[in-house]
Amino acid sequence: MNTSNRVLVIRSIDKVTEFLTGIRRTGATIGFVPTMGALHEGHLSIIRQAREETDFVAVSIFVNPVQFNNKKDLEKYPRNLDLDLALLTLTRCDLVFIPDEQEMYPDNKHLKEQLDFDGLDQVLEGKYRPGHFFGVVAVLRKLFSIIQPTHAYFGQKDYQQFLVVKRLIQAEAFSIQLVMHPIIRETDGLAMSSRNALLTPEMRQKAPMIYQILQILRDKAGNTEVKEMKMWVRKCFIGLPRIKLEYVAIVDAETLKPIRNWSDSKRPMVCIAAYFGKVRLIDNVFLFS
């Protein structure tokens, strides 16, 4: 739908609301891809899917302070707006909404009653990054209300976030079709992430071990005891200088509850979080697939 050369940049809620009201009146479907910027091929691949499936593609770039439980992590988070805008133009994104903190949280008002996610938001990332999903929900609730997309696209890379968003959409009765995009990887298997840019060359070389481990687990699943698989992962990380496994979890993909035996779940998955130097990386794969 974008016929101009450059992606349309809008920074204010009023303007984006007015603009999208016009788009909605034409009966167009709106695909929305929320991001924190520092765009990479993972983001662009999602945008291309949205491009194929919807009439109008809106991306947001907002480094949401509320979802960072660690101030240093927020300060260090990569930002590269000029390159982002060039990439968005190349992928033929129609509109990018880039609000600042004051626009999103005037007077710091993001504290709204929290939803009940049946513990989904308390495990894995929720356990190790307390408050993270509170922030995710706060920002997405607001972005969904502003953009009012027909479709919203999220990556499997943040699978737990996808499940939390699914609950949010149900709970608030947003009329949004939620779509999950598979994990896009570097050629050596490392899941693409804005944070990869923060890895030292040495850690960048080591980081693909996460996906190598996940692939071996996928091969072993069903034949090796769950407990044994987790122990094996922990052993893989022992004695590696400045590399630290934060968690390995084998869970049911619907509930994120840990499984003990393979018969406990029809759709098990494994999730890993690990530090490579100061950079925290996450990855996951579905087992039995």
- Smallest distance from the beta carbon of 183 to ligand AMP, in angstroms? 4
Instruction: Indicate if 43 belongs to the active site.
Output: yes
Alpha carbons 200 and 31: distance in angstroms, whole number: 35
User: Interaction with ligand AMP in 14-43: which residues (CB under 6 A)?
Assistant: 35-36, 42-43
Rounded least distance, CB 195 to ligand AMP, Å: 8
CB-facing half-sphere around the CA of 16: CA atoms within 13 A: 27
Q: Which of 91, 148, 193, 265 binds ligand AMP (CB under 6 A)?
A: 193
| Smaller CB separation from ligand AMP, 68 or 117 | 68
Measure the CA–CA gap between 36 and 216, rounded to whole angstroms.
31
Long-range contacts of 114-122 (CB under 8 A, 24+ apart): 115/167, 115/168, 115/171, 117/164, 117/167, 118/167, 118/255, 120/160, 120/163, 120/164, 120/167, 120/255, 120/256, 121/160, 121/164
Nearer to ligand AMP, 152 or 250 (CB): 152
Span near ligand AMP by CB under 6 A; candidates 75-83, 186-194, 212-220, 238-246: 186-194
137 sits near ligand AMP (criterion: CB under 6 A) = no
Q: Which of 30, 47, 96, 184 binds ligand AMP (CB under 6 A)?
A: 184
Instruction: Break the chain down into helix, strand, coil percent, rounded to 5.
Output: 45, 20, 35
Of 10, 143, 147, 183, the residue at the interface with ligand AMP (CB under 6 A) is 183
CA 148-150-152 angle, to 5 degrees, is 85
What's the rounded Cα separation, in Å, for the pair 43 and 155? 8
The only residue of 23, 44, 46, 272 in contact with ligand AMP, by rule CB under 6 A: 46
Q: How far apart are CA 7 and CA 130, in angstroms?
A: 36
Tell the smallest beta-carbon distance from residue 261 to ligand AMP (Å).
30
Burial class (CB in 10 A: 0-12, 13-18, 19+), 153: buried
Of 132 and 206, which CB lies nearer to ligand AMP in the complex structure? 132
Backbone angles phi, psi at 267, to 5 degrees: -135, 75
Position 91 contacts ligand AMP (CB under 6 A): no
Total number of residues that touch ligand AMP (CB under 6 A): 16
Q: Which of 60, 91, 194, 284 binds ligand AMP (CB under 6 A)?
A: 194
Site for ligand AMP contains 155 (CB under 6 A): yes
Q: Give the CA distances from residue 87 to residues 37, 151, 158, in Å, rounded to whole numbers and listed in that order.
A: 11, 21, 22
Smallest gap from residue 21 Cβ to ligand AMP (A) = 25
Give the residue with the Cβ less far from ligand AMP, 158 or 229. 158
Instruction: List active site positions.
Output: 43
Contact residues toward ligand AMP (CB under 6 A) are: 35-36, 42-43, 46, 154-155, 157-158, 181, 183-184, 191-194
